[in-house]
């Protein structure tokens, strides 16, 4: 079988992350320095699609590590309602692989006009988004040919983690970041068998993906990846929100499989609760975890190496999900590189 771009780009991730870490630090430090010169009270992250899932990671990283409340932008305020909120004391970050989406560009333009600190996180340093922002964090990921993003997603996470580290000013986080590319490489190796497990799940019309905290981003991104490449109804949930109503979908006759993203210690109790519920109801369980007790009971076990600090775990934990989406897409006879009806650059207002 010819290898798809999707698979090639998934496997490029250790290389692209290492390059970004090596060549992108100066840009992150310079952007952080400009932020520090301003009276920044909160952050706004503007993005769509996979980039919006990266933004959700940024929401936790900036909130927990930099004490900044980070709002996910509502771009229609800027484009449809022409009623931009007050952004003068905000850090506004636009995230877009292509840097083309007019709504995201408009948020950055207006923020800069109001005097906000503005940063573009993009794979195209010559894009309109890069031009609109005061600082640019280029992803340096090389061209991404698959419509469904893999290497630019993890590069966006890495860029946001680097921004958080630069804003903090300590050296420790940079050492932790340095270990990520190697860990991602090990996880990719560990995913080799996933393709053969996928055909059993080919005919399920849906998939539930649950995470929490830092890895809510992972749950959303894995669900989106499966949706894009397999066209099934896959949705991501916070474990807390899932228990507030959506868990009713596990009471169907044909229970959808549940993929639980459960690395890191802080959210174990929550995700253990979801795992217990899934087992009790007899739904198929797919687990991404670094704990044996979770993996042993799973129908599909996606193992993570121990040792990644929780704030960086989304860079690692998304990889088995990307690989699962690939396997499922191929098992369903689809082309993961070119999902029906989708194009690489989506221009929304």
CB 177 within 8 A of CB 165: yes
Residue identified by tokens 């988004």 is 129
Token readout for 256 is 């959808």
Q: Which is nearer to a second copy, 20 or 198 (CB)?
A: 198
- Does residue number 112 form part of the binding site for a second copy (CB under 8 A)? no
Residues 88-107 that bind a second copy (CB under 8 A): 89-90, 103
End-to-end CA distance of the chain: 39
Residues 208-227 that bind a second copy (CB under 8 A): 212-213, 216, 224, 227
Token readout for 276 is 């217990």
The correct pick among 243, 272, 291, 309 for binding a second copy (CB under 8 A) is: 243
Give me the 248-287 binding string for a second copy, x by CB under 8 A, dash otherwise.
xxxxx-x-x---------xx-xx----------x------
Cα distance between residue 106 and residue 76, in whole Å: 10
- Does residue number 192 form part of the binding site for a second copy (CB under 8 A)? no
DSSP string for residues in 177-207: HHTHHHHHHHHHHHTTTHHHHGGGGTT-SEE
Q: Select from 93, 144, 149 the least CA-distant residue to 121.
A: 93
The DSSP code for 163 is: H
- Does residue number 14 form part of the binding site for a second copy (CB under 8 A)? no
The correct pick among 1, 37, 67, 192 for binding a second copy (CB under 8 A) is: 67
**Smallest gap, in angstroms, from Cβ of residue 273 to a second copy?**
9
Q: Which is nearer to a second copy, 20 or 330 (CB)?
A: 330
The correct pick among 195, 246, 284, 309 for binding a second copy (CB under 8 A) is: 246
- Does residue number 151 form part of the binding site for a second copy (CB under 8 A)? no
- Does residue number 1 form part of the binding site for a second copy (CB under 8 A)? no
**Smallest gap, in angstroms, from Cβ of residue 193 to a second copy?**
26
The correct pick among 74, 142, 195, 309 for binding a second copy (CB under 8 A) is: 74
**In the chain, how long is the greatest CA-to-CA distance?**
58
The DSSP code for 345 is: S
The correct pick among 19, 48, 109, 151 for binding a second copy (CB under 8 A) is: 48
Q: What are the DSSP E strand ranges found in the chain?
A: 42-46, 70-72, 90-96, 117-122, 135-138, 206-211, 233-238, 258-262, 285-289, 300-303
Residues 284-343 that bind a second copy (CB under 8 A): 339-342
């Amino acid at each position: 079988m010819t290898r798809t771009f999707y698979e090639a780009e998934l496997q490029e991730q250790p290389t692209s992350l290492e390059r970004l870490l090596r060549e992108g630090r100066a840009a992150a430090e310079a952007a952080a320095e400009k932020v520090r010169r301003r009276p920044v009270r909160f952050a706004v992250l503007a993005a769509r699609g996979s980039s919006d899932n990266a933004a959700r990671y940024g929401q936790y990283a900036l909130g927990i590590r930099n004490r900044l409340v980070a709002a996910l932008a509502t771009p229609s305020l800027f484009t449809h309602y022409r009623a931009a909120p007050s952004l003068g004391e905000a850090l506004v970050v636009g995230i877009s692989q292509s840097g083309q989406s007019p709504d995201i560009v408009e948020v950055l333009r207006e923020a800069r006009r109001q005097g906000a600190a503005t940063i573009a996180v993009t794979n195209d340093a010559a894009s309109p988004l890069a031009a609109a922002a005061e600082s640019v964090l280029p992803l340096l990921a090389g061209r991404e040919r698959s419509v469904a993003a893999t290497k630019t997603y993890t590069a966006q996470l890495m860029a946001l983690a680097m921004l958080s580290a630069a804003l903090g000013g300590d050296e420790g986080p940079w050492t932790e970041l340095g270990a990520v590319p190697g860990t991602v490489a090990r996880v990719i190796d560990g995913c080799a068998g996933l393709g053969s497990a996928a055909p059993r799940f080919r005919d399920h019309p849906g998939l539930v993906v649950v995470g929490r905290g830092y890895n809510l981003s992972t749950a959303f991104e894995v669900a989106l990846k499966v949706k894009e490449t397999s066209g099934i109804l896959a949705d991501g949930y916070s474990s807390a929100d899932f228990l507030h109503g959506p868990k009713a979908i596990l009471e169907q006759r044909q229970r959808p499989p549940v993929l639980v993203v459960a690395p890191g210690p802080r959210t174990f109790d929550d995700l253990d609760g979801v795992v217990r519920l899934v087992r009790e109801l007899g739904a198929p369980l797919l687990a991404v975890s670094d704990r044996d007790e979770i993996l042993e009971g799973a129908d599909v076990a996606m193992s993570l190496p121990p040792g990644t600090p929780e704030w960086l775990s989304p860079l690692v934990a998304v990889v088995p999900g990307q690989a699962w989406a690939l396997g499922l897409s191929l098992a369903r006879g689809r082309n993961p590189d070119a999902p029906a009806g989708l194009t690489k650059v989506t221009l929304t207002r």
